[in-house]
Structure 1
Amino acid sequence: MSAAQLEMPGMPKRLFPATPSKLACFSDCPRRYRFSYVDRPTPAKGPAWAHNSVGAAVHAALRSWYELPIDKRTTAAARQLLYGVWSPVGFRDDEQAARWRARAAAWLTDYVTGLDPTDEPVGTERTVGCTTERLALSGRVDRIDRRGDELVVVDYKTGRVPSTDDDARGSPALAAYVLGVRRTLRRPCSRVELHHLPSGTVASFEHTDRSLANHVRRAEDVAADIGVATAAVEAGEDPDVAFPTAPGRQCSWCDFRPSCPTGQAAAPARETWSFLAEDDAAD
């Protein structure tokens, strides 16, 4: 029975449950969305990526660092936490994984040196949510800081390119987090920050009601397109037609490349360590 059939006359319209990653998945490629959220069992995925291993370890170490007693929040503790969660998955070999572990530990040391260990975040890896006219929107925030009377959304970045203020302004995820923080924690929140550990830089943006409304409108448009595609499949349309591919260079690193002949034909596969910084070979 479809979602539309389950709705009772006179009842409020069912909200679409969404996360920033779910909406971004459909925007990038409807076929990838179908593979991720519609098809069961989920089609086979490709191998894990080294840059994701780096990011996951840094995020986990920072979360655990804030869970330590204040007097234990040291740079040495941060490094040990990173070593404890480090995974060599996706790297070319053990030697490359070891070099990148040392590099990530150096980022973490520099970053933690600039933190006040007595400054308790309002939340780390905190799930927040809100509703709009069409969406039940939720997401998990890396860190929520208290700055005076307001809360600030902090997102850690470990990619090869430093974040910019335009990245902070244009991020649908950060806008969703602001709305979620406001609704979940009932506190003022407008500022979002991207903390890029490799460069030690911080990109930021102060959201307004207008900027948030623009993000909500775009998110609801994507959700509406997902609803149309889903309803078409329920009505008997070919899933490949309802959820078409969006072939391009991104097919080189799509998780579902092994299950998508169109993607395989669109671009050659990349090595799982190819998103690491270009100066890797010089280390």
Structure 2
Amino acid sequence: MSMQLGLEGMPARLVRVTPSRLATWEDCRRRYRLTYLDRPALPRGGPRAASTLGAVVHNALQAVYGAPPVRRSPARAAVEVDRHWSSEGFRDDAQAATHRERARTWVADYVERHAVAGAPEPMGETVGLERWLSAPVGAMVAEGRADRLDERDGDVVVVDYKTGRRAPDADDARRSTALALYALAARRTLRRPCHRVELHHLPSGTVAGVDHDEESLAAHRDRAEAGAVALGAAADALDEDPRLSESLFPPAPGPRCGSCDVRRHCPEGRAAAPAEPAWAGLAP
């Protein structure tokens, strides 16, 4: 357990958090308990097509950017999609084939625009791929895996790939606590300045970015720190008295319960929304 000196020299626990843990805590505390605390872990929902598609695109781009620049090409990118393809969660073979071809096009276009020699929108030198970042930030240890880290003019830029239905904008990048935490952790891990964070939406070709200042990063840090302290305290209280489970981790039923992967263990969630098919998150 990570520690730092607290009040009067007493050791205070540093709570380890990832952006996904924080997001789950903020979204639904019951889902947080069922996902991260209950042991043995309960069975969860099966794979969802949108998540499968996102993983394929991430893996293909990791392979392309992991190769020397002279070996990066749109054709290589399309081949990497085929090499990493999975049909888990799709309705049928026809739907899977349609989205496989879409993914090939997305990744090939992205590489042609950003990654080949003479690309119209080069992104600088890549200094990290699927890089695990972990650094103490206030009362927490912020950690997680960044899709890509680029260096541009001496600064590190955090890049996050997106494949969802909606193209993000600069406000999405500005509001993303995950990207801000990656920026703070990248500073500590790489010992380089890091202010810019970007969302790269492959279906639309959108690059939505923002340059954080110290004030905006501090605001994200404070919010994340408050969540980390709260979830750590709730977990400790549950350890001391399991009877407090429902009061400490109440459900937050709503429309999103239709796609929750722990809905089978949550009566309130099942009542709040009908189950969505595994391919519901795909773009039309």
Question: In the alignment, which residue of structure 2 is the partner of 1:229?
Answer: 234
Q: Where does the alignment leave 5 or more consecutive residues of structure 1 unmatched?
A: 279-283
- The alignment status of 1:196 with 2:201, answered yes or no, reads yes
Question: In the alignment, which residue of structure 2 is the partner of 1:58?
Answer: 57
Equivalent AA in structure 1 for residue 127 of structure 2: V
Superposition CA RMSD, Å = 1.9
* Counterpart among 250, 262, 265 of residue 256 in structure 1: 262
Query: 1:238 and 1:88 mapped to 2: Cα distance?
Result: 41
**Cα deviation, residue 229, structure 1:** 1.8
- The alignment status of 1:208 with 2:213, answered yes or no, reads yes
Question: In the alignment, which residue of structure 2 is the partner of 1:123?
Answer: 128
- The alignment status of 1:181 with 2:186, answered yes or no, reads yes
User: Is the CA contact (8 Å cut-off) linking 1:129 and 1:179 kept in structure 2?
Assistant: no
**Cα deviation, residue 234, structure 1:** 2.5
- The alignment status of 1:270 with 2:283, answered yes or no, reads no
Choose 261-270 or 111-120, whichever is displaced more: 111-120
User: Is the CA contact (8 Å cut-off) linking 2:2 and 2:14 kept in structure 1?
Assistant: no
User: Is the CA contact (8 Å cut-off) linking 1:129 and 1:184 kept in structure 2?
Assistant: yes
Where in structure 2 are the equivalents of 1:1-283 lying within 5 Å?
Answer: 10-117=9-116, 120-236=125-241, 237-278=243-284
User: Is the CA contact (8 Å cut-off) linking 2:2 and 2:15 kept in structure 1?
Assistant: no
**Cα deviation, residue 149, structure 1:** 1.4
Q: How many matched pairs?
A: 274
Query: 1:189 and 1:143 mapped to 2: Cα distance?
Result: 13
Equivalent AA in structure 2 for residue 74 of structure 1: S
User: Is the CA contact (8 Å cut-off) linking 1:35 and 1:42 kept in structure 2?
Assistant: yes
**What do the CA deviations read for 1:78-108 (whole angstroms, capped 9, x no partner)?**
1111101111001000110011000111111
Choose 54-63 or 146-155, whichever is displaced more: 146-155
**Cα deviation, residue 261, structure 1:** 1.4
With the length of structure 1 as denominator, give the TM-score of the two structures: 0.92
Query: 1:116 and 1:65 mapped to 2: Cα distance?
Result: 9
Query: 1:75 and 1:124 mapped to 2: Cα distance?
Result: 19
With the length of structure 2 as denominator, give the TM-score of the two structures: 0.92
**Cα deviation, residue 74, structure 1:** 1.2
**Cα deviation, residue 115, structure 1:** 1.9
Q: Where does the alignment leave 5 or more consecutive residues of structure 2 unmatched?
A: 118-123
Q: Provide the identity percentage.
A: 49
**Cα deviation, residue 226, structure 1:** 1.1
**What do the CA deviations read for 1:223-269 (whole angstroms, capped 9, x no partner)?**
22213322332332331221111111111011101111111111111
Query: 2:177 and 2:248 mapped to 1: Cα distance?
Result: 24
- Provide the secondary structure at the position in 2 that maps to 1:195: strand
User: Is the CA contact (8 Å cut-off) linking 2:69 and 2:115 kept in structure 1?
Assistant: no
- Provide the secondary structure at the position in 2 that maps to 1:89: coil
**Cα deviation, residue 3, structure 1:** 11
